[in-house]
Chain A
Amino acid sequence: MGGRDATMVLLDENGVRCDGRKVDETRRIMIRAGGLKNADGSAYIEFGDNKILVGVFGPRDVHPKHMSNTDTGILRVRYHMEPFSVGERKNPAPSRREIEISKVIKEALEPAVMLEKFPRTAVDVFIEVLQADGGTRCAALSAASVALADAGIPMRDMVAAVAAGKVADTVILDVNNEEDQAGQADMPIGYMPNLEKITLLQLDGVLTPEEYKKCVDVGVKGCKIVYDLQKKALTDKYFGKGGD
């Protein structure tokens, strides 16, 4: 999504990354539960320079009707990037990439949401990427979990997500845009810490079998960091001073 800078040093001799982070450090993460008036639940996340807003509606009637299921509720997810969210203007129509990401996020959330309690209904999750800087699907998934919880929808767990990856032959946590473009591998992971289940996993880039295992391990550990911030966002809203 951006130009490549061949002169950039992704990891210097002191183990410091191009944005000053250590190998096992995430970017700055800020999650806020709520914020939208009309949505049944909402969340906003800033994950490094990513800025993503999520609104949840439902359980509600399904339109078109033929999509409804008499045995269970259905989850629908739309991941969408604003035309101004990236360097060069993005065509606002949903791209194939956005359709795929919508699908993997939906499947990552499904194990967490107790949809079987609401047959014939739909839960709609709308994800709007206002600004993108690498790792949007993980940030979006983390925020979507908080928005679903904020909507009061019964859940088994929340899905926390962050990417692991490889730059300069080193396994790192939380791949940023530069590292994604110029690095060697990117592995987004979504994980339910209480149920110990990985619900989103993708990889592009070459890893040895040892690096593969290490990436999964580093990613799962990173998800636990994000998970604490998700819980904090909800307690801040419902039990904190600034609650509404």
Chain B
Amino acid sequence: MTSTSVIDELKKSQILELLEQGKRVDGRAFDEPREISIETNAIPKANGSARVRLGETEVICGVKIQPDRPFPDTGDKGLFICTAELLPLSHPTVETGPPQPPVIELARVVDRGIRESHMVDVSQLVIEKDKSVIGVFADNVVVDYDGNLFDACSYASTAALLTSKTPKWNWVDEKPTLVEGEETDLPISTIPVSVTMGKIGNHIIVDPNGDEWDSMDARVTITSDSDGNICALQKGGSDGFTQDEINQCGEISVRVGAKIREKLKEAQKGSQ
């Protein structure tokens, strides 16, 4: 997670030693994500929500949908904003106060993956052009930390958005007016799935757990959409990738992402 956690050098060399033998500390295959559990509608007061566990990492995402003013240059589009926050109860090293760069990066990468896939069709979220639009806010809170917050927050946001219901507003007397009892699904065009891969030595592993996360030399998060296209990427960490490794990571992310997308669809069906 944040660079503040003390890296156990012994653990790190053990992790690398195991990888050299083709094994991971928790027995997973290199391209195998941890168990994903998705509970939708975890927060009934939100317009959509999900509690996602990725191994022992746990994230809750709540979606709030409300009328808002459009950005001046995009009066014909609604708003979509995704945030992420580490709660102090998620890890002993997390402190309160303004977000540190790793958390800012987390929030921006999660937002970008969903935004760039055009998952939420914001062109359908206009109440009155240039005056009033519908804003969709997906706020993630990390409640327990065991590595790879990027994917955990991404799955939580996606699951929450897939199960969100949006109220309806009409433009009456120059202001948005709620139409009681009319709720529809959000306009969804694709299901983005992010897959984060860590590089330890020359090994690429999918969904690093907390110990692996602290031992990584570099990482890359790649988001693909329902058509198997790649729509967002972020490299991080203090080492580089070869061109071959980046191509390989692209293939892994599409292949592994397709399986995870099925789980998200199941969660969506289960909530109906």
A residues bordering B, Cβ < 8 Å? 3-4, 96-97, 99-100, 102-104, 107, 110-111, 187, 192, 195-209, 212-213, 216-217, 220
Contact = CB atoms under 8 A, between A and B. Distances in A.
A197 B251 contact: no
Interface string B228-257: 111111111111111100110011001000
Contacts of A197: 239-242
Contacts of A206: 116-118, 225, 229-231
Contact of B235 (A97, A202, A207): A202
A216 B251 CA distance: 14
B105 A216 contact: no
B22 to A, nearest CB: 24
Given A96-B104, A217-B243, A104 B236 contact: yes
B251 to A, nearest CB: 7
B91 interface: no
Contacts of A216: 243, 246-247
Nearest to B254: A209
Binding site secondary structure of chain B: mixed
B174 interface: no
B240 A199 contact: yes
A213 B250 contact: yes
9 contacts: A100-B108, A103-B236, A104-B236, A197-B242, A199-B235, A201-B241, A205-B232, A207-B230, A209-B230
B156 interface: no
Contacts of B236: 103-104, 107
Interface residues of B, number: 37
Nearest to B240: A197
Given A107-B236, A203-B234, 7 more contacts: A96-B107, A97-B108, A201-B220, A201-B233, A201-B234, A201-B241, A204-B116
A96 B108 contact: yes
A103 B101 contact: yes
Given A202-B235, A206-B230, A209-B250, A195 B240 contact: yes
**Residue from B101, B115, B228 having most chain A Cβ neighbours under 10 A:** B101
Contact of A99 (B104, B117, B118, B235): B104
Contacts of B251: 209
B116 A213 contact: no
A96 B117 CA distance: 21
Of the listed residues A196, A212, A217, the one surrounded by the most CB atoms of chain B closer than 10 A to its CB is: A212
Contact of A103 (B102, B218, B225): B102
B35 interface: no
Contacts of A195: 240
Q: Which of B228, B231, B237 has the largest number of chain A CB atoms within 10 A?
A: B231
A198 B233 CA distance: 13
Contact of B105 (A100, A111, A199): A100
B182 interface: no
A107 B238 contact: yes
A102 B100 CA distance: 12
B23 to A, nearest CB: 26
A192 B246 CA distance: 14
Interface string B67-108: 000000100000000000000000000000000011011011
Given A100-B108, A198-B246, A216-B246, A204 B232 contact: yes
A100 B105 CA distance: 5
Contacts of B118: 206
Contacts of B51: none
A107 B251 CA distance: 24
Nearest to B223: A203
A197 B238 CA distance: 12
A192 B238 CA distance: 13
A201 B246 contact: yes
Contacts of B239: 110-111, 197, 199
B231 A204 contact: yes
A203 B102 contact: no
A216 to B, nearest CB: 6
A107 B246 contact: no
